[in-house]
Amino acid sequence: MASAPLTARQEWQRYGPLAFAGMLGMSYVSLASTSLGVFMVPLQHEFGWSRAQISAALTISAIVSTPLAPFSGALADRYGARRIAIPGLVLAIMALAAISLVNSSIYSWLFAWFCLSLVTLLTKTPVWATAVSGAFSASRGLAIAIVLSGLGLAQTLSPIIARLLIDDFGWRGGYIGLAFGWGSVTLLMVWLFFYDMFGRRAKAPPGSPDRLLPGGLTLRQALRDSRIQRITFAIMIQAVMAAAAMSHLVPILEWSQMSRAGAAGIAAILGIASISGKLVVGWLADLVRRSFLPAACFALPGIGYVLLLQGAASASLLSAGVFLVGLGSGAAYHMTTFLTVQYGGVRHNGKIFGVMTGLLGLAGGIGPLIAGLIFDATDSYYVLLIAGLPLSITAGAAVLTLGPYPVFEASAENETPIEGPASTT
């Protein structure tokens, strides 16, 4: 006789530490990129590199991650997230610390980031999200939001910690301190509390010819599923526009007649808003299972772009615009992760969301380039911002009528997963 499903409270009592360990893991993945700006001036002073040369590290990361991100999800599906995350973290700690060894050749800098980008494939979002999605059901939305908030945690704390380390130990000591300080805490928490439901079923019971695995679409089925295609279309539109606006946020605010100091202060709202969007929508996703919630999340940034366009020299309007862009972008990223597992199932979620992660990396590389080309051609951000509202509405419309969540039945390892009747909840 099947046991009754766990309530949300029971899930958090049993699996809460897993979600917070995943959040720390997610934060470490983001650590190098979120702290890079603090290292730019010390690197310039020592080696004479331009900021474009230093920033090329992120381009290297995007080039590596875009085609290879699906493989990290596939490994998590096959071997279990814990078996991938722990060695991945060990390698990532070593690779981040190794950046302290670069010399005056810019190629040593780029090679160090290439190595870091390769090993962090084992700790990408699909690894953490797959484990949490398999453990949580009633409170899956909030659990995913906690994990994804690791990015906001890194955005908030890593520049501060990196600055303190650089002031006391230099930039080389800064990288070593971040790697072994933040990394050791993360590795300990992951070792103690991070596991996945696949790993718990790694061995079949004695006398059982097959093991039962959670239901879900295969990668091939997901790529052909119209609901997954619409979710992908929506997040690609959202991600390109968000990457364009966020990477040029301070210049946009200066174009809107704000001082550099004022622009930097307003831009700081972005990270807080992004975390808020993930947490609020994560909580709502477990309570409100209707199509208007995803549509609202994807459309919300459009209002922010309008306020940025109309808020010239008005700190209050510009602040509200930045807050709504951050809130909506964070909410949309969460909904993408959540909807992918709801409509694709848990069984191959690592592969499916790995493909999405690769596409998001591609969008992150395209958006800033588009914003730069628009400004270079028009000496203005008007065209970029005015496009934000119709693009956001289009993304929201794409996920408006996805329909009720399907129910996937567990099946033996050697059987093709079958989608059961749609859920009406």
Beta-bridged to residue 412, according to DSSP, are 212
Position 182 scores a pLDDT of 95
pLDDT tens, 228-253? Answer: 999 999 999 998 898 888 777 777 88
Q: In this structure, which topology does domain 14-200 adopt according to CATH?
A: Growth Hormone; Chain: A; (1.20.1250)
pLDDT tens, 137-194? Answer: 888 888 888 998 888 788 778 878 888 898 889 999 999 999 999 999 999 999 999 9
Do the strands 419-422 and 406-408 form a parallel or antiparallel pair, or are they unpaired?
antiparallel
CA-closest candidate to residue 261, choices 249, 250, 274 = 250
Position 424 scores a pLDDT of 38
- List of E strands, 154-252: 212-213
Say how far apart CA 127 and CA 85 lie, in whole Å: 7
* Domain range summary for the chain, segments of one domain joined by +: 14-200, 215-402
Section 207-216 average pLDDT: 55
Architecture, CATH, for domain 215-402: Up-down Bundle (1.20)
**Helical pair 51-79 and 81-98, crossing angle rounded to 10 deg:** 160
Q: Do domains 14-200 and 215-402 have the same CATH topology?
A: yes
What is the average pLDDT score of the chain? 83
Position 172 scores a pLDDT of 95
Say how far apart CA 76 and CA 95 lie, in whole Å: 21
Rounded to two decimals, the pTM is 0.74
Say how far apart CA 12 and CA 14 lie, in whole Å: 5
C-alpha dihedral (332, 337, 341, 343), degrees to nearest 10:
30
205 pLDDT band, cuts 50/70/90, is very low
Tokens matching residue 253: 């605010």
Say how far apart CA 203 and CA 10 lie, in whole Å: 25
